[in-house]
Amino acid sequence: MTLYKTHWRAFTYLPMALLSGFLLFFSFPKFGNGILAWVALIPLFHALRNATPREGFKIGFVTGLIAHVGILYWISHVVVQFGYLPFYVGVAAVLLLAAYLSLYTACFAMGVLFLRERGNAFFLTAPLLWTVLEYARSHLLTGFPWETLACSQYLFKNIIQVADITGTYGITFAIVLINALLYNLLAARFRKGRYPVAEIVNACAVLAAIYGYAYYRTAEIHEALKRASLIEVALIQGNIDQSKKWDARYQSQTVDIYRSLSLQSIPARGGFIVWPETAAPFYFERPGPLRAALVDVARTSARTLLFGSPRYEEENGRVSFMNSAYLLRPDGVVAGRYDKVHLVPYGEYVPLRQLFPFIGKLVAGVGDFRPGKGFDPLVSDGRRFGVLICYEVIFPEAATAYKRNRADLLVNITNDAWFGRTSAPYQHLSMAVFRAVENRLYLVRAANTGISAVIDPTGAILSRTGLFERTVLKGEVKFIDEKTFYAAYGDVFVYLCGLLLILNDFIQKRRRNHARRNSRNIG
């Protein structure tokens, strides 16, 4: 009978867990809308209402698995199309990564139930715990902060401005807080007891603070932009077929495409041209006609040119490859080079190769890349460019390192051709928005097949291209020197959340012990 009840309870939990998973998935681009994130966790909370911590782990895992499979389905496309592996391997790759990420959702569900049993208020512990676990997910095992909960809000300017204080974690906290409040309100309709008035007041205060700060800070940034100097930028979207990109027979054609687009759309004097990641599909340091043709673009246009190219170094008979960006002055002289620091696991290198020698790279390429040494801006004409190559734009630490090194502008160069027409290019863009807000810098994004974009310091996407278009996106960028708390102090908000979570549990423990002593004394 007990076994029957356990299975029946699990069956009743499952629909709500699945619903939360689907709502989370549909909170993100390209298929969803960020508004759903504010109610996505309510079904999960309902499923947890009578569950034990052990059951909560299973319920949370189901929710996380559905959400992450939906968000990350595009990995199977990359593995099959460009890793030349069977379809079932692509599916397995998605399921394995989704299962790993679902452990955080599972731990969240188990954690809130465990803390509830210890007397902690669900309304407070839910946002605190989710925020701390999201931070852990973003840093453990090289970190994977792809489409964290806050990123669903990238189009809502009045919500995302607080990121220059708390990073994305403050927005995540607010979303989980509102979900918990709404669940409490709905639950109160179906049971006797007080309405959570204090929680309503607190949540309204949080939202009022977010919107109030957005109004104040946006006005401040716009005022600074009015006084700022500006230059024009031309973002070149070559739309080079990934299957031809590394074919030696098409190298000259690729350079000609980028050269022609660049010279047809030369920005105004003082401006600069940006080509995407590995837009030069050859080793630029090698002398030859391809290098000469590229240098001639800078000289003919008389503009600064920033472009991506692979690079190699040979030392003691060993060859190391880097994914790099070069900055050419208008006279064609190399002003600087940046080597990508944060590499893509199983795309640009294989972590834990000694423990798992049978695992190879899931995407075909030149070979294992070596990471660069640091986030040092490239300098030309007194302007400092903070370059983020592809995947690096999802890591706040990379952009804030550039801000601390006095970067004037963030430049994201990427090749999203790997992703096809899946949701990944849209998701990639959504995360770039937050790097502009956190550091109050313009961010320009040049992508081989799109989406190229110009993003201002308030996170507004001023202009953007479509996917798989051969085009040039011209825009203006301005340079402001606005200090931000987040760039200066990092994730203090998360540390406070962790401290408050521990402190709250400690206080509840003291109360329980005090109550037990009083009970014994009365007895």
Question: For position 301, what pLDDT does the model report?
Answer: 95
Q: Are 298 and 305 in contact (CB under 8 A)?
A: yes
Average pLDDT over residues 472-494: 96
For residue range 236-289, what is the model confidence (pLDDT) as tens digits?
999 998 888 878 888 999 999 999 999 999 999 999 999 999 999 999 989 999
Confidence band, pLDDT 50/70/90 cuts, at residue 403: very high
Average pLDDT over residues 437-446: 98
Choosing from 55, 147, 232, 277, the catalytic residue is 277
Range with lowest mean pLDDT among 148-152, 197-201, 380-384, 492-496: 197-201
Any alpha helices (H) in 138-230, and if so which ranges?
A: 157-160, 163-166, 168-189, 197-227
392 is catalytic: no
483 is catalytic: no
Choosing from 390, 392, 403, 497, the catalytic residue is 390
Confidence band, pLDDT 50/70/90 cuts, at residue 85: confident
Average pLDDT for the chain: 89
Among 134, 180, 145, 186, smallest CA distance to 41 is for: 180
**Integer Cα distance of 323 and 415 in angstroms:** 12
The answer to whether residue 5 scores a pLDDT higher than 80 is no
The answer to whether residue 455 scores a pLDDT higher than 50 is yes
The answer to whether residue 385 scores a pLDDT higher than 80 is yes
Kindly report the pTM of this predicted structure. 0.92
The answer to whether residue 507 scores a pLDDT higher than 90 is no
Choosing from 58, 340, 403, 478, the catalytic residue is 340
Question: For position 243, what pLDDT does the model report?
Answer: 80
245 is catalytic: no
What domains does the chain contain, in order, with CATH numbers? 2-223+493-522 (no CATH), 231-477 (3.60.110.10)
Confidence band, pLDDT 50/70/90 cuts, at residue 185: confident
Confidence band, pLDDT 50/70/90 cuts, at residue 97: very high
Question: For position 364, what pLDDT does the model report?
Answer: 47
Question: For position 366, what pLDDT does the model report?
Answer: 41
Average pLDDT over residues 322-351: 88
Element containing residue 108 per DSSP (H, E): helix 87-117
Task: Classify 460 in phi/psi space as left (phi over 0), alpha (psi -120 to 50) or beta.
Answer: beta
Per DSSP, 284 falls in state: T
Question: For position 206, what pLDDT does the model report?
Answer: 87
